Amino acid sequence: MKILSSFILLSIFFACGSNPSSDEAQASNPYSAGEEVYENNCIACHQKNGEGVVEAFPPLAGSDYLLADKNRAIGIAANGMSGEITVNDVKYNSVMASQGLTKEEVRDVMNYILNSWGNDGGEVTLKEVEAVMK
């Protein structure tokens, strides 16, 4: 129900825009707002299919680290991260800078990455993002 109502709100939001083709994309894909955020801010490192680049940029597709802790992942999308982590048995010790996203963009991109490439990580609400970003 929550997904449906935020989808309706997003549809209204996009219906106010001028581009009719983006309305169509929105209607067929509830995560298209998040997909756009991903393409603009994440894809260069984590790649189109979410697989990352081994030993440089960790994967988001099937990432045990991402899927283990939703609030931690919200914090990374919002603020970036650094230090050693292990993702699917591969070690990374690098830096991801904050991408400077708004709360809405963090919510949208989180919902996109949690529900793409076979991930089934559920839903992130604006409230949850606010709790992490405040």
Q: How many CB atoms lie within 10 A of CB 133?
A: 15
**Closest Cα partner for 74 from 131, 33, 117?**
131
Residue 87 CB, nearest approach to ligand HEC (Å): 5
Largest CA distance in the chain: 46
Residue 56, judged by CB atoms within 10 A of its CB (0-12, 13-18, 19+), counts as: exposed
Pick the closer one to ligand HEC by CB: 24 or 86.
86
Question: How near is the Cβ of 56 to ligand HEC at its closest, in Å?
Answer: 7
**Minimum gap (Å) between residue 42 Cβ and ligand HEC:** 3
What element of type H or E holds 91?
strand 90-96
Please identify, using beta-carbon distances, which residue of 77 and 129 lies nearer to ligand HEC.
77
- 15/54 with CB nearer ligand HEC: 54
Q: In this complex, which beta carbon is closest to ligand HEC, that of residue 26 or of residue 59?
A: 59
Residues that bind ligand HEC (CB under 6 A): 41-42, 44-46, 57-60, 63, 65-66, 73, 76-77, 81-83, 85, 87, 92-94, 96, 99, 101, 109, 113
Find the distance separating the first CA and the last CA of the chain, reported in whole Å. 26
* Distance between CA atoms of residues 87 and 84, nearest Å: 10
- Smallest separation, CB 77 to ligand HEC (Å): 4
